[in-house]
Amino acid sequence: MRKIYAQGDWDGACFLYSIVNAYVALRREQPEFAAVCRAFGQVDHPGDFLNGSVGTTGSYDSNYGMLEENIRRALSALGAANFAVRRIAGRFSEDMLKDLLGSNSVVLVRYMGSSKYATGMDHWVCAMDYDEQSGEVLVACSVRLHKACDDLPCAYAEKHIPRYDRWWNDALSKQHDHTIVSEEVFQITMP
């Protein structure tokens, strides 16, 4: 059974799916469909997410306040009004994740480049864990299912993180050229 939500073929809604996947990771429960509909209906410029080539690169681009406010609004519509959202300003490096991730916190990041399973991305994911030893950022990725099942047989798998009781399906690592976009990193904490 899948735990990580996946987006469709034609939308650019990875930012929205990263928020839902953050909710699932922290609450350890699936949201109701009606709540997800309300959450997606709360965002500014919803048409940007219906176009696979726009997403947050349209009206949201470099508008950090709008990104943060829309994360808050979507979480509230999902039933998580008490979650704290904090933008990590300034230059970002992946080793900072060891202090930002925990049993009550995840981090939304925008990255450009390649992950373990996808190439040439401009993509939002929810960071679930950081493995200091390997330098891998374990993420919930909304396009992983689609990318894995382009060819048959479908090679999709989700793996469990026992210490946080959450799931991941892709990884950002030094073996795959990518950059986490500084200024577009948001820690979400559940009290």
Residue 161 domain flag = yes
Tokens 């981090």 map to which residue? 107
Residue 2 domain flag = no
Residue 8 domain flag = no
Q: What was the pLDDT predicted at 183?
A: 96
What confidence tier does 190 reach under pLDDT thresholds 50, 70, 90?
very high
CA torsion through residues 179, 48, 14, 22, sign: positive
The total domain count for the chain is 1
pLDDT tens digits along 124-156: 999 999 999 999 999 999 998 887 776 667 778
- The one-letter amino acid code at 154 reads C
CA dihedral 17, 166, 133, 96 (to 10 degrees): 50
pLDDT tens digits along 162-184: 999 999 999 999 999 999 999 99
pLDDT tens digits along 23-78: 999 999 999 999 999 999 989 998 888 887 888 888 998 899 999 999 999 999 99
Containing domain of residue 101, as a range? 14-189
Residue 1 domain flag = no
pLDDT tens digits along 2-12: 888 888 766 88
Q: What was the pLDDT predicted at 105?
A: 98
pTM value?
0.94
Residue 157 domain flag = yes
pLDDT tens digits along 12-23: 899 999 999 999
pLDDT tens digits along 76-114: 999 999 999 999 999 999 999 999 999 999 999 999 999
Kindly give the interhelix angle for 33-41 and 14-27, rounded to the nearest 10 degrees.
130
Q: What was the pLDDT predicted at 185?
A: 98
Work out the widest C-alpha separation in the chain, in whole angstroms: 43
Residue 3 domain flag = no
Q: How far apart (Å, rounded) are the C-alpha atoms in residues 27 and 10?
A: 29
Residue 77 domain flag = yes
